[in-house]
Amino acid sequence: MSRLRTFIAVAVDRAIRGRLVSLQAALARSAEGVKWVEEENLHVTLLFLGDVDERDVTEVCRTVAKVCAAHEPFLLRVEGVGCFPQAKRPRTIWAGISSGTKELIALHAALEPALSELGCYRHEERQYTPHLTLGRVKHSDNGQALVSALQRHTDWVGGECEVAEILVMSSQLTPRGPIYGVLSTAELG
């Protein structure tokens, strides 16, 4: 029985990805020990499903399409930076979403029970917070330098794009990083 590492995502346009890469480069000058997300892999995750049986992937794609058809396209604005779980001990560096947050949360809330019903998703206790992961801190010899760099970029603006579709993605883990593939595209509205 074959399984696919699967997640539901929102893509951002090329211009925003370019600005995100420039931001990563600026932060990298102060942040050692960070594994930066490759440009082609930058996205907003709606839900991470984990390993899904290949036989269930078609039904996952149908379910996502059905849920998305009930939601209208919207504008997504990317701006600001921060980290999880806290500034004193950053583990994940992210770019924020300032416009489109309400719509992303609504999509997450609609997809979660539909995919849970299929047995392909387990509810997470933490609240969903829309963001784009820029990098993961593997080790930091100078965490304060990273925190200072993040504070210098709090007013960073990545731009705005229309979200008209949601992607069902696969993720193959490799020693060089994940390789993503689009399994299906679900139109909004």
Residues annotated catalytic, as ranges: 43, 131
**Nearest Cα to 163, choosing from 102, 91, 100?**
100
Residue type, 19: R
Phi–psi pair at 110, nearest 5 degrees: -80, -35
Helical axes 143-152 vs 14-28, angle rounded to 10°: 140
Residue 67 CA to residue 85 CA, distance in Å, equals 30
Element (H, E) at 36: strand 34-36
Report how far Cα 82 is from the mean position of its chain's Cα atoms. 14
3-class secondary structure, 86: strand
CB atoms within 10 A of CB 183: 19
Beta strands in 57-150 (DSSP E): 74-86, 89-99, 131-137
